[in-house]
Amino acid sequence: MPRYTPIDYDAYDEAYEDDNFEGPVSSKPKPKKRVETTLPGVVVRALGHHYEVETDDGIRLCRVRGRLLQERSRESTLVAVGDRVEIVPEGKKKGQIDSVDERDSVLSRQRPGSNRPAEDVILANPDQVLIVFAAAEPEPHTRMLDRFLVIAESNELPAIICVNKIDLTGLDGAKSIFGEYEKLGYPMLYASVTEGRGLDELHALLEDRLTVVSGPSGVGKSALINALHPGLNLRVGEVRDFEGKGQHTTRGAHLIRLPFGKETFIADTPGIRELGLYEIDPGSLAFYFVEMKPFIHDCRFPNCTHTHEPECAVRAAVARGEIAAERYESYLRVLDGEDLQLDEW
């Protein structure tokens, strides 16, 4: 009969406290947890429940991991075009979105059909808005420009105004139409694709930024981008016009990478009605007209609409010429909910 040897429990405890102790010899080693390799990327297009993500090894078609879906918030969009994400690769062309970085900025609207406030993020992480108008052909309508600026201001995005086709009017002619916006402090760029004017300045403004490019039909948005990089070969109208019909027309955003700088993208976005004029609080509208902000708190009534109230500092500034009458008229028209027939322009 084999002799029984008592166990030295003190020695066992000391060994257990040792980081290198692996347990009794007879125990099976625990399987090592598989470490997944992830790739950083940027969401460039949404396709239903899948997303095109640009990574260092190309575009991958990705779905969202189940764990991430379970963590989603009902109050905001889980994944949006422009999001910086980490993906788990699957093969050479696919992957799973594992995480979404915190957003620096958004272009958004209130989600339709929601009983409580919910943000529908149209574009994540935009750096600025480039609003393109033509000096002529088509005839510029500054009331429409004012609406673009309201959208940018309400989303807290810096706006740059690009006046194209100045070869048709001359620089002085273009400034006679758009000079008021220079006085308001908006960065202005006067350009002509035909004459190659303003292209170096535009290149510098876009480099290493995600820029929302907007403007009415026929002003030359695609021509401007093609002039910066002819190899891109954007078709005329490929950078879409703000002509979406209906309050909540569904047209997804799309990022187009420009081949200069490390992170240079332009964003093709949905129509102007999609971007929030319908959801802007009338009481906040005056704050999105930058020249009105210094006077708002000087009004006699805190809820002044700046339309009829006595001792209104905004209307007094209009009377003194400190606020342009045309801009004040734009404010009144937006406040009244006046629609613009964009397809007629």
Q: What is the pTM of this model?
A: 0.80
- 37 DSSP assignment: P
Q: Residue 6's Cα: distance from chain center in Å?
A: 72
Q: What is the enclosing helix (H) or strand (E) of 63?
A: strand 58-64
pLDDT in tens, 125-144: 999 999 999 999 999 999 99
Phi, psi (5° rounding) for residue 57? -105, 20
Helices (H), 102-243: 142-154, 171-183, 199-206, 221-228
Closest residue by Cα to residue 78 from 88, 64, 89, 92: 64
pLDDT in tens, 228-284: 887 776 655 555 543 333 333 335 788 999 989 889 999 976 544 445 555 678 889
- The residues near 312 (Cβ < 8 Å, ≥ 6 apart) are 299, 300, 304, 306
Phi, psi (5° rounding) for residue 19? -60, -25
Rounded to whole angstroms, what are the CA distances from 2 to 5, 6, 83? 9, 13, 69
Residue ranges of domains in the chain, CATH in brackets: 39-102 (2.40.50.140), 123-277 (3.40.50.300), 281-344 (1.10.40.50)
Query: 91 is written with which tokens?
Result: 């093969």
Rounded to whole angstroms, what are the CA distances from 339 to 93, 222, 247, 265, 272? 44, 26, 11, 31, 11
Which amino acid does the sequence have at 77? T
pLDDT confidence of residue 30: 62
Which amino acid does the sequence have at 318? V
- Residue 139 CA to residue 30 CA, distance in Å, equals 74
pLDDT confidence of residue 97: 96
Residues of the chain where predicted confidence (pLDDT) is lower than 50: 1-2, 4, 7, 9, 11-21, 241-250, 271-274, 341-345
- 230 DSSP assignment: G
Work out the burial of residue 239: count CB atoms within 10 Å of its CB; fewer than 13 is exposed, 13-18 middle, 19 or more buried.
buried
- Residue 289 CA to residue 178 CA, distance in Å, equals 16
pLDDT confidence of residue 46: 93
Question: Is the peptide bond between 270 and the residue preceding it cis, with omega within 30 degrees of 0?
Answer: no
Query: 324 is written with which tokens?
Result: 């342009």
